[in-house]
Amino acid sequence: MSAYDLLIAPFADYGFMRRALVACLCLALGSGPIGVFLMLRRMSLMGDAMSHAVLPGAAIGYLVAGSLSLTAMGIGGLVAGLSVALLSGIVSRATVLQEDASFASFYLTSLALGVLIVSLRGSNIDLLHVLFGTILAIDGPALVLIGSITSVTLIALALVYRPLVAECFDPGFLRTVGGRGPVYHALFLLLVVLNMVASFQALGTLMAVGLMMLPAAVAQLWGRSLTAMIALAAGTAAVSGYVGLVASYHLELASGPTIIMTAAVIYGLSILFSPSGFARRLFPSPHLKG
């Protein structure tokens, strides 16, 4: 098998593979930076909670459309995700519950409700598609939706980059200088929900957070500045998408899980060989002597 047959032919010969690759690249550009900010804010598990929170809306979109319409399910997921984020914030401010506990309660409820809604009208195959995604079934409208979300994310991050960084590292300073910390926090949550909807289109609710947090973890192991971490996260997510699609095509594996497992392999190698990894600690380099 030539290099062309191995690496290029799947995308040159099949339109669904090209659409899947474009979707992965869009997700990498949008979800990678968002994952870095989630990790810096110590909200990594909140990303997982939000990925499950979109399930009831996606299920309702599925029932309304009468089929696995990714556009209808995406719109429903967006409404559901924003509702959960808003309700969690209200509950955490009106009660003694912390925001993470509030998110956990709502996401568990959302996951159960979404599975129940799909099981009422759909088959087990439909439920599997909702939970694990159908990246090879990405159509034109869904691809436009994913690309639009990525564009909005990049533009928003460019506009609020400095106050968002300040809100991550020193929210007290931002309040002191008159910054609108809660506004930027709400905007950031909106971007998280939007990217979860985009990831849901391709990877399903159970793995939507995969291309967001695994590349961000890799970036934190290798990067020494915020800009480097953002670039590394986006690059890792893009490589994971491409390699995962190629591997799933040739090995006849499910594409979504293969993409996430590729990112997991890169994460495992980073744990071993990054500057702070196990290999460096087991075999430290000798210090230079003057």
pLDDT digit string, tens, across residues 203-224: 876 677 888 889 999 999 999 8
Q: Is the model's pLDDT at 43 over the cut of 80?
A: no
Which pLDDT belongs to residue 269?
A: 94
Cβ neighbour number for residue 199 with a 10 Å cutoff = 31
Which pLDDT belongs to residue 281?
A: 74
CA-nearest of 38, 73, 53 to 189 is 38
Assess contact for 76 and 58: CB atoms under 8 A.
Answer: yes
Name the percent of the chain lying above pLDDT 70: 85
Q: Is 27 helix (H, G, I), strand (E, B) or coil?
A: helix
Name the percent of the chain lying above pLDDT 90: 32
* Residue 117: C-alpha distances to residues 56, 104, 110, 121 (Å): 7, 20, 10, 7
Which pLDDT belongs to residue 26?
A: 94
Q: Is the model's pLDDT at 256 over the cut of 70?
A: yes
**Sorting pLDDT into bands at 50, 70 and 90, what band is 122?**
low
Which pLDDT belongs to residue 267?
A: 95
Long-range contacts of 182-191 (CB under 8 A, 24+ apart): 184/160, 186/89, 187/156, 187/160, 188/37, 188/164, 189/85, 189/89, 190/82, 190/85, 191/34, 191/152, 191/153, 191/156, 191/157
* pLDDT digit string, tens, across residues 172-199: 666 666 667 678 888 888 898 888 888 8
Q: Is the model's pLDDT at 262 over the cut of 90?
A: yes
